[in-house]
Amino acid sequence: MDERADQSPLNSPPHAVAVEIISLHKWYGDFHVLRDINLKVLRGERIVICGPSGGGKSTLLRCVNRLEDWQRGRVIVDGIELTDDPKRIVTVRRDVGMVFQQFNLFPHLTVLENCTLAPIWARHMPKKDAEALAMHYLERVKIADQAGKYPSRLSGGQQQRVAIARALCMSPNIMLFDEPTSALDPEMVKEVLDTMVALAGDGITMLVVSHEMGFARQVADRVILMDDGQIVEINEPKKFFGDPQHERTRLFLQQILH
Amino acid sequence: MSAIADGSFVRGGAVKPLPPPVSRSGILRWLNDDLFSSPLNIALTLLCVLLMAWALPPVVRFFFIDAVWSGSDRTACLASPAEPNPGACWAFVRVWLSYFVYGFYPLSERWRVDCFFLALAIGLLWLLWLSAPRRDIGAVYFFVVLPLLSYLLLHGAPLIGLMVVPTTLWGGIFVTVVVATIGIVFSLPLGVLLALARRSDLPVLRLAAVTFIEVVRGVPLITVLFMASVMLPLFVPERLAPDQLVRALIGVALFAAAYMAEVVRGGLAGVPRGQYEAARALGLSYWRMMGLVVLPQALRITLPNIVNTCIGLFKDTTLVFVVAIFDFLRTVDAAREDPNWAAPNTTVTGYAFAALFYFACCYAMSLYARTVETRLARGGRR
Q: How many percent of chain A have pLDDT more than 90?
A: 83
Q: Which of helix, strand or coil describes residue A13?
A: coil
Nearest to B282 among A102, A107, A118 (CB): A118
The residue that leads in pLDDT, B373 or B256, is B256
Q: What is the mean pLDDT of residues B136-144?
A: 87
The yes-or-no verdict on residue A220 having pLDDT over 70 is yes
Q: Is the dihedral of CA B290, B293, B299, B302 positive or negative?
A: negative
Q: Does B282 touch chain A (CB under 8 A)?
A: yes
Tell me whether A122 touches chain B (CB under 8 Å): yes
| Contacting B residues, span 358-377, partner chain A, CB-CB under 8 Å | none
Higher per-residue pLDDT: A160 or B241: A160
Determine the pLDDT at residue A2.
Answer: 42
Residue B163 and residue A101: Cα distance in Å, rounded? 66
- Higher per-residue pLDDT: B33 or A174: A174
Which chain A residues are within 8 Å of B292, Cβ to Cβ?
Answer: 117, 121
How many Å apart are CA B195 and CA B269, to the nearest integer? 10
Q: Do residue A122 and residue B283 have CB atoms under 8 angstroms apart?
A: yes
DSSP letter (8 states) at residue B293: I
Rounded CA gap, A72 and A38, in Å?
Answer: 12
Q: What is the C-alpha separation between A98 and A164, in angstroms, rounded? A: 8
- What is the C-alpha to C-alpha distance for residues B280 and B291, in angstroms, rounded to an integer? 13
Give me the domains of chain A, ranges plus CATH numbers. 3-257 (3.40.50.300)
Interface of B with A in 3-22 (CB under 8 A): none
A–B: how many Cβ contacts below 8 A? 73
Instruction: Give the residue-averaged pLDDT of A102-129.
Output: 94
Give the distance, in angstroms, between the CA of residue B233 and the centroid of all CA atoms in the same chain.
32
Q: Is B202 an 8 Å CB contact of chain A?
A: no
Residue contact B281–A106, C-beta within 8 A: no
pLDDT at A150: 92
Q: Identify from B130, B202, B273, B282 which residue to disrupt to test chain A contact, counting A C-beta atoms within 10 A and taking the largest count.
A: B282
Q: What is the least distance, in Å, from the CA of B180 to any CA of chain A?
A: 30
The answer on pLDDT for B129 being more than 70 is yes
Question: With an 8 Å Cβ cutoff, is A85 touching chain B?
Answer: no
d(C-alpha B224, C-alpha B217), whole Å:
10
Contacts of A149 in chain B (CB under 8 A): 380
Check residue B382 and give its pLDDT.
Answer: 41
What does the pLDDT read at residue A171? Answer: 92
pLDDT at B342 over 60: yes
- Which of A150-154, A211-215, B26-30, B191-195 is predicted least confidently? B26-30
Mean pLDDT estimate for chain B: 87
pLDDT at residue B277 greater than cutoff 50: yes
* Residue A93 at interface with chain B, using a CB cutoff of 8 Å: yes
Those residues with Cβ within 8 angstroms of residue A53's Cβ, 6 or more apart along the chain or in another chain: none
CA distance A155 to chain B (A): 12
Is residue A72 within 8 Å of A81, Cβ to Cβ? no
**Dihedral pair phi/psi, residue B220, rounded to 5°:** -65, 150
pLDDT at B4: 53
Nearest-Cα distance to chain B for A165, in Å, is 12
Helices (H), A141-234: 156-168, 186-200, 213-219
Q: What is the mean pLDDT of residues A202-216?
A: 92
Question: What are the backbone angles phi and psi of residue B133, rounded to the nearest 5°?
Answer: -70, 150
Confidence check: pLDDT of A158 > 90: yes
Q: What is the arithmetic mean of pLDDT over A23-38?
A: 94
Q: Is A183 on the interface with B (CB under 8 A)?
A: no
Q: In whole angstroms, what is the distance from residue B263 CA to residue B260 CA?
A: 5
Domains with residue ranges and CATH for chain B: 90-105+165-378 (1.10.3720.10)
Tens digit of each residue's pLDDT (9 = 90 or more) over A1-20: 344 444 444 444 444 899 99
Res A44 pLDDT > 50: yes
Of A93, A151, A153, the CB nearest to B283: A93
Interface test with B, best of A106, A152, A166 (most B CBs within 10 A): A106
Contact A150 B297 (CB under 8 A): no
Give the span between the Cα atoms of A1 and A88, in whole angstroms: 7
Asked whether the beta carbons of B77 and B346 are under 8 A apart, the reply is yes
Residue A102 near chain B (CB below 8 Å): yes
- Give B373 to chain A, closest Cα distance, Å: 13
Q: What is the pLDDT of residue B259?
A: 94
Beta strands at A72-77 and A17-28: parallel, antiparallel or unpaired: antiparallel
Q: CB of B185 within 8 Å of any CB in chain A?
A: no
Helices and strands, number each (H, E), in chain B: 17, 2
In angstroms, the CA A206 to CA A202 distance is 10
> What DSSP character marks residue A44?
T
Q: How far apart are CA B101 and CA B357, in angstroms?
A: 11
For B163-214, how does the pLDDT look when each residue is reduced to its tens digit (9 = 90+)? 888 888 888 999 999 999 999 889 999 999 999 999 998 999 999 999 999 9
What mean pLDDT do residues A182-191 have? 91
User: What is the reported pLDDT for B22?
Assistant: 66
Q: Provide the whole-model pTM.
A: 0.82
Q: Are A41 and A80 in contact (CB under 8 A)?
A: no
What is the average pLDDT value for chain A, to the nearest integer? 90
Which one has a higher pLDDT value, B20 or A66?
Answer: A66
Q: Give the whole-angstrom CA distance, residue B245 versus residue B308.
A: 25
Q: What is the pLDDT of residues A222-251, one digit of tens each?
A: 999 999 999 999 999 999 999 998 999 999
Higher pLDDT, B268 or B128: B268
Q: Is the pLDDT of residue A146 over 80?
A: yes
Question: Which positions ≥6 away from B97 have C-beta within 8 Å?
Answer: none
- Predicted pLDDT at A11: 46
- Which residues of chain A have a CB within 8 Å of the CB of B285? 90, 122
pLDDT at residue B217 tops 50 = yes
The A residues from 138 to 157 touching B (CB cutoff 8 Å) are 149-153
Angle between helices B303-316 and B344-378 (to 10 degrees): 160
Chain A CB within 8 Å of residue B275 CB: yes
* pLDDT for residue B143 is more than 90: no
Tell me, what's the ipTM? 0.90
B382 in contact with chain A, both atoms CB, cutoff 8 A: yes
- Of the candidates B297, B300, B380, the beta carbon closest to that of A153 is on B380
CA-to-CA distance for A116 and A40, rounded, in angstroms? Answer: 32
B182 alpha-carbon distance from chain centroid: 12
Give the best-scoring range by mean pLDDT among A194-198, B34-38, B322-326: A194-198
Whether B109 and B165 have beta carbons less than 8 Å apart is answered as yes
For range B364-373, the mean pLDDT: 90
DSSP-derived pairing of the beta strands A174-178 and A205-209: parallel
Return d(Cα A82, Cα A65) in angstroms, integer: 8
Whether the pLDDT of residue A258 is over 70: the answer is: no
CB A90 within 8 A of CB B283: yes
DSSP 8-state assignment for residue B15: P
Where residue B25 falls among pLDDT bands split at 50, 70, 90? low
Closest-CA distance of chain A to residue B299, Å: 11
Q: What is the pLDDT of residues B294-317, one digit of tens each?
A: 999 998 889 889 999 999 999 999
The pLDDT, as a whole number, for residue A190 is 92
- H or E element that contains B134: none
B274 vs A102, A108, A117: nearest CB: A102
**Which whole number is the average pLDDT over B229-242?**
75
Percentage of chain A beyond pLDDT 70 is 94
User: Using an 8 Å Cβ cutoff, are A193 and A181 in contact?
Assistant: yes
Query: How many CB atoms neighbour CB A160 within 10 A?
Result: 29
